[in-house]
């Protein structure tokens, strides 16, 4: 979709007249332009501040060269470029059509036969790329344009020749985690064509289900799933051929994956028969069709991709505050898997249902936080919005818009008047809680992978701990200036927390050296302790007990640490293989309670594991209750990636994100009232 130009947008780039805006990313913008001869072109303009880095200019020049080497049959043909301009630019042919992400987001997942044809077109493109001794390294739904004659792979900004040095630097990774291969995450310098094949498997899963097979609400959880868990392919069970094809692409071992050429050969014999040519997609500029389709043969690429636009239109979500109805009768329940495994009952001592749920977000919810007085609740989601809720009345107060990518972190100021948020768009922002209006963009980070993953605010309210990229910055909310930068983590930041006295900052990340917690002096930024255990898996979150004596880190169970002694005292476990979220219940001195939640399991029948929150007693380590999100007897499969207690400890809020096959079920926040 072409948007109108803003006052700050250029009207001319080189000899090309700028007509409208096509999109925007962290590095720059893409505009619709017109050549001197009147030809429509796409103009990629890099932000001036990035052009000052020699490394970035090298990367941009390589993008131009890579796109030229592959050619225009599988990509957008390069028309012109100036890598040496003050703001470097690249001009390609304009391809009328939506990205795969746009199409699936707006119209829903594609039928299996259309996914196979899409796979054939993308495999053909990868064959051409790999023949040029290149690895794309960033194949994802947003980098696939569905042109009338077949899919085009775009954005060669990070394409890599295996015999050249890496363009990354310590602690950063290029690519989008949910579509990256395990080896690209672990050793980004050692990429091979097998990385692109893995990404293709993830892209085809997205096309068929609307989600990545490793989808999660935060980067550490995604990395954990990509590197250590099997893909979630629910939704592909009805088409064994597609399921098997994607499974082979997603093998953890690169040597076990087929080549792009093998995939193309296989798809050319298994793809569905030809169907009608692709009709115009509502979100794309109209494309002229032949006046007599029967008089002109349909091209091979059109046959492979034709029919994709016939996907069903997605339903529009309506915000609501709902009380759960009575449990659905057994006759209304449907099995969630066609596998032959025996149903595994949830290990629950007490199944306590939520009193209410908050709905309104249209994509998975990533984060939530209570206001200091407990009056409001804030949530951020992958739909790029924030929502403010009246926690008592359970009604939506406001929808906050401004982030251009997934909102990943949210925290209130100590007086509850300001909301601080961070996102995948590399911005740290502030909002007025009473009006819902944006205050300002506090900071825009410029590193290649500087998403703002997590936030915490000091007890005195004067410092924000910002987990950005693979570091923590201690930032003044008033000025946006960082007074200290805490470095040492080797992966994307997962969580930060201040001790109750404000003297210590604790942090965890998706480190290469797994299972590490770092403690920092909050005043000087100096590393004071490093806590390590069995190092089997990284921690997802970390938080302090109310008295500051105990540190709580969740991951493969919930591990309790004696802060002063620097030793582990207990590990709490339940039915979750990996605890994605945990929180400490305030207001109960001497009777500490921890809540922990995780992801769903693949099984037949009713699975409440993913929808459950476990409550443990800190003093005994015993499970005191199990809370179930959603109707307790329904077949809904979902995960709970974030939990938070109200300041008085009487209400627990938990994010409930449905699995990919949960048609018509919206992401929600579940509210439980606790005794």
State the Cα angle at 625 between 621 and 630, rounded to 5°. Answer: 135
Pick the CATH number of 363-503+512-526 from 3.40.50.2000, 2.130.10.10, 3.40.1160.10, 2.60.120.580: 2.130.10.10
Neighbour count for residue 141 (Cβ, 10 Å) = 22
Q: What is the mean pLDDT of residues 168-173?
A: 36
Per-residue tokens: 564: 């002063």
Kindly report the average pLDDT of the chain as a whole number: 79
CATH architecture entry for 100-282+300-310 = Orthogonal Bundle (1.10)
What string of H, E and C letters represents the secondary structure of 570-619?
EEECCCCCCEEEEEECCCCCCCCEEEEEECCCCCCCCCCCCCEEEEEECC
Name the residue ranges covered by the structural domains of the chain: 12-93, 100-282+300-310, 363-503+512-526, 540-675
Q: What would the pLDDT profile of 100-157 be if each residue is shown by its tens digit?
A: 998 998 888 999 999 999 999 999 989 988 888 788 888 999 889 998 888 988 876 4
- The Cα 384–Cα 382 span in angstroms is 5
Q: What's the CATH class of domain 12-93?
A: alpha beta
Report whether pLDDT(303) > 50: no
253 belongs to the catalytic site: no
Mean pLDDT of 563-577: 89
Q: How many Cβ atoms from other residues are within 10 Å of residue 535's Cβ?
A: 11
Alpha-carbon distance of 654 to 354, in angstroms, equals 10
pLDDT of residue 10: 87
Q: Cα–Cα–Cα angle for 497, 502, 506, nearest 5°?
A: 30
**What is the per-residue pLDDT for 514?**
73
Contacts of 334 (CB under 8 A, 6+ apart): 635
Residue 633, marked binder:
no
**Residue of 580, 626, 667 lying closest to 221 (CA atoms):** 580
Cα–Cα dist 516/510, whole Å = 9
The residue from 138, 215, 425, 574 that is catalytic is: 138
Instruction: Say if residue 340's pLDDT is above 60.
Output: no
CA atoms within 13 A on the CB side of 625: 14
Tens of pLDDT along 61-90? 776 777 677 766 677 788 888 888 888 888
The better pLDDT of the pair 333, 6 is held by 6
* 97 CA to centre of own chain: 24
- Across 77-86, 232-241, 273-282, 380-389, which has the greatest mean pLDDT? 380-389
pLDDT of 26: 54
**Residue pair 452/409 in contact by the 8 Å Cβ criterion:** yes
Pick from 154, 232, 238, 226: nearest CA to 195: 226
CATH class of this structure's domain 540-675:
mainly beta
Distance in angstroms (rounded) separating the CA atoms of residues 344 and 333 = 16
Q: Are 121 and 150 in contact (CB under 8 A)?
A: yes
Cβ pair 23, 1 in contact under 8 A: no
pLDDT band at 548 (very low <50, low <70, confident <90, very high): very high
Task: Tell me the pLDDT band of 534, cut-offs 50, 70 and 90.
Answer: low
Q: If you average pLDDT over residues 155-179, what whole number do you get?
A: 50
What number is the average pLDDT over the span 178-191?
84
> Measuring CA to CA, how many Å separate 338 from each of 175, 332, 603, 605?
34, 17, 8, 9
Q: The tokens of 444 are what?
A: 């825009």
Nearest-angstrom CA–CA distance, 352 and 654: 13
- Whether 454 shows a pLDDT value over 90: the answer reads yes
The conformation of residue 634, written as its DSSP 8-state character, comes to: S
Mean pLDDT to the nearest integer, 543-568: 92
478-532 pLDDT, tens digit each: 999 999 999 998 888 999 999 999 999 999 988 877 778 999 999 999 999 999 8
Nearest Cα residue to 475 out of 464, 487, 490: 464
Q: Do domains 100-282+300-310 and 540-675 have the same CATH topology?
A: no
Q: What value does the mean pLDDT take over residues 46-75?
A: 71
SS3 233: coil
Instruction: Tell which residue, 96, 94, 98, 101, has the closest CA to residue 34.
Output: 94
Please tell me the distance from the alpha carbon of residue 381 to that of residue 200, in angstroms, as a whole number.
Answer: 25
- What is the Cα–Cα distance from 479 to 460, expressed in whole angstroms? 16
Cβ neighbours, 10 Å, residue 576: 25
């Amino acid at each position: 979709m072409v948007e109108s130009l803003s006052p700050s947008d250029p009207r001319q780039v080189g000899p090309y007249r700028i007509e409208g805006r096509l999109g925007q990313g962290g590095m720059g913008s893409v505009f619709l332009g017109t050549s001197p001869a009147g030809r429509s072109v796409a103009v990629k303009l890099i932000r001036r501040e990035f052009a000052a880095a020699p490394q970035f200019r090298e990367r941009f020049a390589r993008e131009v060269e890579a796109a030229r080497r592959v050619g225009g049959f599988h990509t957008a043909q390069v028309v012109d470029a100036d890598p040496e301009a003050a703001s470097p630019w690249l001009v390609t042919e304009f391809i009328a059509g939506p990205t795969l992400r746009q199409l699936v987001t707006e119209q829903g997942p594609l039928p299996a036969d259309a996914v196979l044809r899409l796979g054939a077109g993308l495999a053909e493109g990868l064959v051409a790329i790999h023949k040029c001794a290149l690895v794309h390294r960033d194949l994802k739904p947003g980098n696939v344009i569905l042109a009338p004659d077949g899919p085009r792979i775009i954005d060669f900004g990070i394409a890599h020749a295996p015999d050249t040095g890496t363009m990354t630097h310590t602690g950063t990774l290029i690519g989008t985690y949910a579509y990256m291969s395990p080896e690209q995450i672990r050793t980004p310098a050692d990429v091979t064509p097998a990385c692109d094949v893995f990404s293709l498997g993830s892209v085809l899963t997205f096309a068929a289900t609307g989600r990545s097979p490793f989808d999660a609400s935060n980067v550490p959880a995604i990395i954990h799933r990509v590197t250590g868990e099997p893909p979630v392919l629910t939704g592909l069970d009805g088409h064994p051929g597609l399921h098997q094809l994607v499974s082979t692409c997603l093998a953890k071992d690169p040597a076990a994956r087929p080549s792009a050429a093998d995939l193309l050969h296989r798809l050319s014999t298994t793809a569905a028969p030809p169907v009608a040519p692709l009709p115009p997609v509502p979100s794309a500029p109209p494309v002229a069709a032949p006046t007599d389709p029967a008089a002109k043969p349909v091209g091979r690429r059109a046959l492979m991709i034709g029919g994709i636009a016939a996907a069903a239109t997605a339903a529009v979500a309506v915000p609501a505050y709902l009380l759960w109805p009575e449990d659905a009768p057994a006759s209304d329940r449907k099995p969630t898997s066609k596998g032959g495994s025996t149903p595994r009952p949830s290990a629950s001592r007490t199944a306590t249902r939520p009193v209410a749920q908050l709905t309104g977000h249209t994509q998975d919810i990533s984060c939530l936080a209570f206001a200091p007085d407990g009056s409001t609740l804030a949530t951020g989601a992958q739909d790029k919005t924030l929502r403010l809720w009246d926690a008592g009345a359970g009604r939506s107060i406001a929808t906050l818009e401004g982030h251009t990518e997934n909102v990943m972190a949210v925290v209130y100021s100590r007086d509850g008047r300001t909301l601080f948020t961070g996102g995948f768009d590399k911005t740290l922002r502030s909002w007025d809680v009473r009006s819902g209006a944006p205050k300002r963009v506090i900071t825009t980070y410029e590193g290649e992978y500087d998403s703002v993953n997590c936030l915490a605010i000091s007890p005195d309210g004067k410092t924000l701990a910002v987990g950005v990229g693979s570091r923590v910055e201690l930032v003044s909310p008033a000025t946006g200036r960082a007074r200290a930068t805490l470095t040492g983590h080797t992966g994307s930041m997962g969580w930060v927390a201040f001790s109750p006295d404000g003297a210590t900052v604790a942090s965890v990340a998706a480190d290469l050296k797994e299972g590490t917690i770092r403690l920092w002096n909050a005043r000087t930024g100096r590393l004071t302790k490093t806590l390590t255990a069995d190092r089997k898996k990284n921690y997802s979150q970390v938080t302090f007990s109310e008295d500051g004596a105990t540190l709580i880190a969740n991951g493969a169970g919930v591990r309790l640490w004696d802060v002063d002694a620097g030793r582990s005292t207990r590990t709490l476990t339940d039915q979750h293989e990996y605890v994605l979220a945990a929180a400490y219940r305030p207001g109960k001195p001497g009777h500490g309670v921890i809540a922990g939640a995780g992801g769903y399991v693949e099984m037949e029948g009713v699975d409440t594991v993913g929808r459950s929150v476990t409550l443990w007693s800190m003093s005994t380590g015993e499970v005191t209750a199990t809370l179930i999100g959603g109707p307790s007897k329904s077949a809904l499969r979902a995960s709970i990636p974030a939990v938070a207690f109200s300041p008085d400890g009487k209400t627990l809020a938990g994010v409930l994100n449905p699995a990919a096959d949960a048609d018509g079920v919206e992401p929600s926040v579940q509210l439980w009232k606790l005794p």
